[in-house]
């Protein structure tokens, strides 16, 4: 039977994450990629699989590996990485490579995997994905533009086939691809009311999330340069203006419970991968885990209190007790829009970063700890990376306080990082189509940089310094 593209598109438009909350009673393993040992990766770059050794990420040769890179957004409504209508995968990755970056945090939505399950295992083709995200007119237009720039694609090339192409080209350039769950339902991220904020928020059904993680973990086994993946971007308190959300338990106990279960799920699907754990309040805080505090009573910003927490048996997170003890990497973010942290001076930022989790890299407490008075050492050394931060890409970059603090911090402490972001424009973002972003490295039409002088005189020297 043949269906017109429009009919097919209409059928897919009906799919929602809410309906996907009811998982089908089927053998999930039948939909996931078979594990394939494509090549023997231990004998060539990237010398994977990677593991952690104290504060370092190490390859199979025992060498410490540093990441310096960029986020490539792909979790918008079309669920296809941004920019492909403007430039080929080869050209985009050549741009990334030209800065010296070796790492891409590659964002996606769990909805992408939900749709594959709803379609009995088949992924969505490019044209349908575009029409679903952009409507018929722009969807077909953008599909043709993507194919013109990437002639090996057809309108039926699926989203995970596009991922395969990107991972393969990245491998040829010695660039790591780090899949990152940005949202449950594909859309611009993040705020407290978008339904993607916290476990079991209305766009964040926990079972779908874990299923999606397993699918991507299995996909990763086909690509030697996918050595790591994240659990979830920027967890935060869920807010519903008309009803309390305290039943979702926004606190350390819920965080560690769900992260442990999800890391088990990934490790079962693909035991080679590193798994990055992000923190509370938009990924600003991992202090309770890293300092070995009682999770029932440890403080955190805007958390739901566990009122009888003092009377309960203490719950202490012990990474060493898990089979994936040498696979967890912590990730933190910091932006000048932070609700609660002071980003106005480097000494304070350094002390805050120490408390938030960078104590786990074994660094000495920064001098301003005598002001913040919360610098406690870590119970275990573990790698910590800064996987998002950013600011306007114009002349103000050179004098931006927080950006310069983070640059100094990563250089002084050999901390891996990824800036936000590559995407000079978005197909669709917060309801608008063709939306530009002045904080992006890339320009609107993905032909070059937003601020070439910043790339030459600020980003490139920073990247180079990380590998000296």
Ligand X SMILES: *[C@@H]1O[C@H](CO)[C@@H](O)[C@H](O)[C@H]1NC(C)=O
Which stretches of the chain bind ligand X, using CB under 6 A?
A: 40, 42-43, 64-66, 119-120, 135, 137-138, 187-188, 191, 193-194, 199-200, 202, 206, 240, 242-243, 248-249, 254, 257-258, 261, 367, 370-371, 398-399, 414, 430, 433-434, 443-445, 447
In the complex, the smallest distance separating the C-beta of residue 106 from ligand X, rounded to whole angstroms, is: 21
In the complex, the smallest distance separating the C-beta of residue 80 from ligand X, rounded to whole angstroms, is: 15
| CB-nearer residue toward ligand X: 86 or 219 | 86
For residue 366, give both structure tokens. Answer: 């920064």
| CB-nearer residue toward ligand X: 85 or 283 | 85
CA 389 to chain centre: 12
| CB-nearer residue toward ligand X: 249 or 454 | 249
Q: Is 428 helix (H, G, I), strand (E, B) or coil?
A: strand
> Residue 123 phi/psi, 5° resolution?
-75, 165
Question: Which of 119, 331, 147 lies closest to 233, judged by CA?
Answer: 331
How far apart CA 69 and CA 224 sit, in angstroms, is: 18
For residue 68, give both structure tokens. Answer: 């310096």
Question: Which of 269, 135, 114, 234 lies closest to 185, judged by CA?
Answer: 114
| CB-nearer residue toward ligand X: 138 or 336 | 138
| CB-nearer residue toward ligand X: 257 or 362 | 257
In the complex, the smallest distance separating the C-beta of residue 175 from ligand X, rounded to whole angstroms, is: 15
Q: How many CB atoms lie within 10 A of CB 271?
A: 13
Cα–Cα separations (whole angstroms), residue 169 to 92, 122, 247, 282? 10, 24, 45, 31
In the complex, the smallest distance separating the C-beta of residue 414 from ligand X, rounded to whole angstroms, is: 4
For residue 335, give both structure tokens. Answer: 């932006």
In the complex, the smallest distance separating the C-beta of residue 332 from ligand X, rounded to whole angstroms, is: 18
In the complex, the smallest distance separating the C-beta of residue 90 from ligand X, rounded to whole angstroms, is: 17
| CB-nearer residue toward ligand X: 41 or 284 | 41
Cα–Cα separations (whole angstroms), residue 463 to 40, 68, 168, 209? 29, 6, 23, 33
Cβ atoms of residues 421 and 440 within 8 Å? yes
How far apart CA 152 and CA 446 sit, in angstroms, is: 19
Q: Is 11 helix (H, G, I), strand (E, B) or coil?
A: helix
| CB-nearer residue toward ligand X: 145 or 164 | 145
| CB-nearer residue toward ligand X: 326 or 414 | 414
Cβ atoms of residues 256 and 235 within 8 Å? no
DSSP string, 51-68: EEETTEEE-TT--EE--E
In the complex, the smallest distance separating the C-beta of residue 128 from ligand X, rounded to whole angstroms, is: 12
Q: Is 220 helix (H, G, I), strand (E, B) or coil?
A: helix
In the complex, the smallest distance separating the C-beta of residue 58 from ligand X, rounded to whole angstroms, is: 10
Give the residue at shortest CB distance from ligand X: 257
| CB-nearer residue toward ligand X: 233 or 254 | 254
Cβ atoms of residues 139 and 127 within 8 Å? yes
In the complex, the smallest distance separating the C-beta of residue 257 from ligand X, rounded to whole angstroms, is: 2
Sequence-distant (≥ 6) Cβ neighbours of residue 326 within 8 angstroms = 51, 52, 53
How far apart CA 394 and CA 43 sit, in angstroms, is: 43
Cβ atoms of residues 353 and 406 within 8 Å? no
| CB-nearer residue toward ligand X: 310 or 395 | 395
In the complex, the smallest distance separating the C-beta of residue 290 from ligand X, rounded to whole angstroms, is: 19
In the complex, the smallest distance separating the C-beta of residue 350 from ligand X, rounded to whole angstroms, is: 12
| CB-nearer residue toward ligand X: 326 or 433 | 433
How large is the C-alpha radius of gyration of the chain? Answer: 21
How far apart CA 61 and CA 241 sit, in angstroms, is: 53
Half-sphere exposure of 157 (CA within 13 A, CB side): 17
């Amino acid at each position: 039977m043949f269906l017109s593209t429009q009919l097919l598109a209409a059928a897919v438009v009906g799919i929602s994450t809410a309906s996907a909350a009811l998982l089908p009673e089927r053998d999930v393993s039948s939909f996931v990629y078979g594990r394939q040992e494509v090549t023997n990766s231990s004998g060539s770059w990237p010398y994977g699989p990677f593991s952690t050794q104290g504060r370092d990420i190490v390859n199979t040769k025992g060498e410490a590996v540093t990441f310096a890179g960029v986020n490539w957004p792909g979790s918008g409504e079309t669920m296809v990485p941004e920019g492909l209508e403007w430039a080929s995968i080869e050209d985009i990755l050549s741009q990334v490579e030209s800065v010296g970056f070796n790492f891409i945090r590659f964002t996606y939505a769990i909805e992408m995997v939900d749709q594959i399950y709803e379609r009995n295992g088949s992924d969505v083709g490019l044209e349908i994905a575009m029409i679903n995200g952009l409507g018929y007119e722009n969807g077909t237009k953008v599909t043709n533009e993507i194919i013109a720039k990437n002639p090996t694609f057809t309108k039926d090339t699926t989203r995970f086939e596009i991922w395969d192409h990107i991972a393969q080209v990245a491998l040829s350039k010695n660039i790591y691809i780090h899949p990152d769950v940005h949202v449950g339902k594909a859309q611009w991220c993040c705020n407290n009311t978008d339904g993607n904020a916290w476990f079991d928020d209305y766009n964040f059904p926990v079972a779908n999330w874990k299923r999606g993680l397993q699918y991507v973990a299995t996909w990763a086994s086909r690509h030697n340069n996918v050595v790591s993946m994240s659990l979830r971007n920027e967890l935060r308190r869920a807010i519903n203006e008309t009803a309390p959300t305290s039943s979702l338990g926004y606190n350390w106990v819920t965080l560690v419970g769900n992260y442990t279960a999800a890391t088990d799920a990934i490790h079962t699907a693909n035991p080679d991968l590193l798994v990055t754990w992000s923190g509370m309040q938009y990924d600003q805080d991992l202090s309770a885990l890293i300092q070995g505090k009682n999770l029932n009573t440890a403080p955190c910003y805007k958390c739901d209190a566990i009122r009888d927490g003092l009377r309960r048996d203490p719950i202490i997170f012990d990474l060493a007790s898990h089979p994936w003890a040498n696979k967890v990497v912590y990730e933190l973010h910091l932006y000048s829009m932070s609700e609660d942290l002071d980003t106005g001076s480097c000494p304070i930022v350094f002390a805050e970063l120490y408390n938030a989790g960078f104590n786990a890299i074994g660094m000495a407490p920064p001098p301003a700890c005598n002001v913040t008075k919360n610098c406690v050492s870590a119970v275990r050394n573990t790698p910590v990376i800064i996987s998002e931060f950013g600011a306007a890409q114009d002349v103000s970059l050179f004098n931006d306080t927080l950006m310069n603090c983070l640059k100094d911090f990563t250089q002084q402490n050999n901390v891996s990082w990824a800036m936000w972001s590559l995407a000079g424009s978005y197909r669709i973002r917060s309801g608008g189509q063709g939306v530009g972003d002045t904080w992006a490295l890339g320009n609107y039409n993905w032909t070059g940089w937003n601020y070439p002088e910043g790339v030459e005189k600020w980003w490139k020297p920073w990247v180079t310094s990380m590998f000296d």
